[in-house]
Structure formats: structure tokens, C-alpha cells
Amino acid sequence: MSTLTQPTGTASTPAPEVRTYASYSRPYWQRVVLSREFAVIALLVAVFVYSQSQVDYFDGPQTLYYLFRDTASILLLALPMTAIIVTGEIDLSVASIVGLTSVAFGMLHVDAGMSVTLAAVLAVAIGAVCGAFNGFLVAYVGLPSIAVTIGTLALFRGIGAGLLGTESRTDFPDSWTDLAKERIVEGQPYPMILIPFAVLAVLFALMLHFSSFGRGIYEIGLNDEAAHFTGVDVARTKAVLFVLSGTVAGFVGIYTTLVTGVARAENSTGLELPVIAACLLGGVSIFGGKGALHGVIAGVLLIGVIQRAMLLESFTINIINITIGVLLVLSVMSTSLLALGRRAVAAGRGARDSRRPPSAPASGR
């Protein structure tokens, strides 16, 4: 209730000489440069510059356009996924929600004869309902999100498959499918989808990094019990994030349908994995509590650039998958390898790692 910014009120009188604190222990440039996010961004720039100069046709007119168009789904889904992983949960069902909403969108438009707009609104709503279902089970029933979303991964995709079977709907107005493929400025490599992405990215960044709600998200990930004791509504926060995840997945379902021109149940199968991989690559800790949106966006683009460049170098998609897998393992291992190194140094001084440190653990988790 208090909106105090200065300690006033009933508490004891301030000490005569008031201690002051520096806000930060390290200078600004160190905090920026020595961060995980900066490393990912630097790697992205390096890979991009290298590709520009060394990979034939990478600087061609279509490369970046297709890069953005194809990674747009992952970029969008990574926004709510970041927040969910920061709370220590996970949503494996996003790609299935994309599939289901794609089917729903196609059927509502083609079979039920609704306008594209109305069908799209309803499809997004269906996505939100799917997210709410996950959120309810995880946040209010208290079930582990990995188990719940493995179940709904099958369930949501299964409903799509049940509704449409192996059929598909392709009868969409050209004006809409063209819009999905259009460029913001003709001649520039930026597809239209980047506009809604930019808007959502800003909104998610504000929510995650510049709001009390966002602070709660990080606290839940670091220590949900302490968050609860501090008055953070842990359940509601998680539920909101899952609903957001479903909503964004619904939007991606429509985008995927329009950009490919096909509504079918198999759309975006397996897409949850690159989304999660990109989040982890971008510096989000799977234990929760750590990560930032700019790192994740750089992570998605890094995967995209590597894919593009390798495709142009005529590597097969398989080699590319191996590369991404190795990158993912290395990136998550890097944190613990560093910790291991630090611990080895500490061990030299006799401070042995212990699971139950008595008074002052050097590393909480």
C-alpha cells in the first residue's frame, strides 16, 4: 500500500550519519559487455558479418527477407516462452496450438464462411483458451508444466487432426495471403510480419523488464516461495503467461496459414523445440529467474542466420540441425562449465561444493 520512496513514517529515527550505497558494483560498460546477452548479440553480429562476406548469395536481395519471414513464427513464440521459462515452467504445447488454430481459422473461414477477420479473431481466442487450459492446470491445480504440456501437445494437435484429418483448407483471399508475404517497404528485405512482432516485442519487454509484474516473474523463477511471501500472486502470474503464450500461438497459427496459404493440422509440427532452443541459447536459464528478451531475440536470429548461411553453402538441413543441437548443448553447458571452473578454484582453497551449505552459499542453485 505504501508508495513511499523515502523511509519516513513510524519506524525508528534515522541514524545520525546515514550510510549511502553505490547502485552498481561494476561500471556500466562491464555490466553490458560481460553479460550473456551481449555474448549472443556479438556472436550474431560476427556470424552475420562473416556470412555477408564469405557466403555466396548471402547478401542477395532475398536472403534476409526469407530469413525474417521464416523465423517470424519462432520470434513471436519466443516472446511468451521467455517469460514462461523465466518463471521456471515450460510450454511444450505452443506448436500444437499453432496447428489447432490454423485448422480452426481455415475451417471457420472456408467451411463456416466467416470473414477472414472474424475467423482470425475467433482462432486467436481459441489459442487463448488453450493457453488458459494449460495455465489453469499448471497454476491453480499445481501440476508440473512439463507433464501438462506434453499432454496438451498431443491433445491440441490431436483435436486439429481430428477435425480436419489429412485434409487441408487453401481457399483464402489473395489480398490476405499477399499481405502476409508483403514487404513493409518495397525493395527492402523486411516482411510485414515484423510490424506486429516489433509491437509485441516492445510490449513484452516492458512487461518483463519494466513492470512490477515482470519483477514478480523473475522472483517466481528464483524463489517462488519467497515471491509468495512477498505478496506476488504466483498462480495468477503463471496463468496469465500461459494465456499470453496461447494467444500469441493463435496469432502465429493465422500467420502460418496465410503465409503458406494452407490450413492443416500438421502446420508447424515440432516448432516448440527450436523456440525453446532459441530461448536457452539466448541466455534464459532453464532453472528460471534469469534471461532477457534482447538475448532471446538475438538467439532466434542467430539460429536463423546460421540456417540461411548453411543452406546457401549447400549443407543439408540435417547438418544444420546438428549444429543447432551442439550450439544449444554448448551454450547451456557454458554456464555450468564456468561455474565448475570457479568451483575448482574455490576447491583449491578448501571450499568444497556442498548441496546444503550452512550459512552463506556461494551459489544458490
Partner 1 sequence: MSDTAVRPSAASPVSRVLNDLLRSRELAVAVVLVLLVAVTTLNSSSFLFGSTGWRDLLLTPSMLVLLAVGQTCVLITRNVDLSVGSTLGLTAYLTGRLFIDTNLPIVVVVLAGILMGAVLGLVNGVLVAWGRVPALVITLGTMYIYRGAFLTWAGSDRINADDMPSTFRNLGTESVLGIPVLTIVAVVVLAVVGYYLRTAGGGRELYAIGSDPDAAALYGLKVRRRILFAFVLSGALAGLAGVVSAARFGTVSSSVGTGVEFEAVGAAVIGGVAIFGGSGTVWGAALGAFLLVTINRALPVLGISDFWQQAVVGALIVAAIILDRVLVRRQEKALVAARDTPAGSTSPGPPTATPVVAGASPSTSGTQEAVR
Partner 2 sequence: MVEQSRVALELRDVAKSFGAVAALRSGTLVVERGSIHALVGENGAGKSTLVKIVAGVHRRDSGTFRLHGEDVDFASTAESKGSGVAVIYQEPTLFPDLSVTENIFMGRQPRSRFGRIDRGAMHREALELFARLGVEIDPRRPALGLSIADQQIIEIAKAISLDASVLIMDEPTAALSGVEVERLFAVARSLRDEGRALVFISHRFEEVFALCDTVTVMRDGAYVSTDPIAEITVDDIVSRMVGREVADLFPKTPATIGEPVLEVEGLERAGVFHDVSFTVRAGEIVGLAGLVGAGRSEIARAVFGVDGYDAGSVRLAGRPVKPRNPRAAIRSGMAFVPEDRRKQGLVTDGSVARNVAGVIRGGLARAGLLTSAAENRAAGPWAAKLEVKTSALDMHAATMSGGNQQKVVIAKWLATDPTLLIIDEPTRGIDVGTKAEVHRLLSELAGEGLAILMISSELPEVLGMADRVLVVCEGRITADIDRADATPENVMRAATNATSHTAEEVPA
The interface with partner 2 within residues 19-58 (CB under 8 A) comprises 19-26
Nearest to partner 2 of 65, 287 (CB atom): 287
192 vs 180: CA distance, rounded Å: 6
By beta-carbon proximity to partner 1, the closer residue of 146 and 198 is 146
- Give yes or no for residue 3 binding partner 2 (CB under 8 A): yes
> Coil, helix or strand for 8?
coil
Residues in 146-175 that interact with partner 1 by CB under 8 A: 146-148, 150-159, 161-162, 164-166
Any idea which residue has 557466403 for its cell? 55
Neighbours of 358 (CB within 10 A): 6
The single residue among 34, 329, 338, 362 that binds partner 2, judged by CB under 8 A, is 362
Query: Binds 329, which of partner 1, partner 2, none (CB < 5 to 8 A, cut-off by type)?
Result: partner 1
Indicate whether 338 belongs to the interface with partner 1 (CB under 8 A). Answer: no
Among positions 305-324, residues that touch partner 1 (CB under 8 A) are 316-324
Q: Which of 122, 258, 277, 300 binds partner 1 (CB under 8 A)?
A: 277
Site residue total, partner 2 (CB under 8 A): 57
Q: Does 184 bind partner 1 (CB under 8 A)?
A: no
User: Using CA atoms, how far apart are residues 253 and 127, in angstroms rounded to an integer?
Assistant: 9
- By the 8 A CB rule, do 289 and 88 touch? yes
Report the distance separating Cα 80 and Cα 77, nearest Å. 6
CA 186 to chain centroid, in Å, comes to 29
End-to-end CA distance of the chain: 32
List of residues 6+ apart from 308 with CB closer than 8 A:
51, 58, 63, 66, 67
Could you say whether residue 143 binds partner 1 (CB under 8 A)? yes
Supply the minimum distance, in Å, between the C-beta of residue 162 and partner 1: 4
Q: Pick between residue 27 and residue 270 the one whose CB is nearest to partner 2.
A: 27
- Binding-site partner at residue 2 among partner 2, partner 1, none, CB < 5 to 8 Å by type: partner 2
| AA letter at 129 | V
Closest contact distance (angstroms) between CB of 240 and partner 1 is: 21
To partner 1, the closest distance from the beta carbon of 160 in angstroms equals: 8
Long-range contact pairs involving 324-328 (C-beta distance under 8 Å, separation at least 24): 324/274, 324/277, 325/277, 327/281, 327/303, 328/277, 328/280, 328/281
Binding region for partner 2 (CB under 8 A) out of 5-13, 43-51, 250-258, 262-270: 5-13
Residue 162's binding partner, choosing from partner 2, partner 1, none, with beta-carbon cut-off 5 to 8 A by kind?
partner 1
Q: What is the 3-state secondary structure (H, E, C) of 129-193?
A: HHHHHHHHHHHHCCCCHHHHHHHHHHHHHHHHHHHHCCCCECCCCHHHHHHHHCECCCCCCCECC
The pattern of x and - marking residues 222 through 261 that bind partner 2 according to CB under 8 A reads xx-xxxxxxx-x----------------------------
CB 296 to partner 2: min, Å: 19
Q: Where is 302: in which H helix or E strand?
A: helix 293-312
DSSP letter string, 87-116 = TT---TTHHHHHHHHHHHHHIIIIIS---H
Residues touching partner 1, count (CB under 8 A): 54
Binding residues for partner 1, rule: CB under 8 A, are: 90, 137, 141-144, 146-148, 150-159, 161-162, 164-166, 265, 270, 273, 276-277, 280, 286-287, 316-326, 328-329, 332-333, 335-337, 339-340, 355-356
Binding residues for partner 2, rule: CB under 8 A, are: 1-12, 14-15, 18-26, 206, 210-212, 214-215, 218-219, 222-223, 225-231, 233, 289, 349-352, 354, 356-365
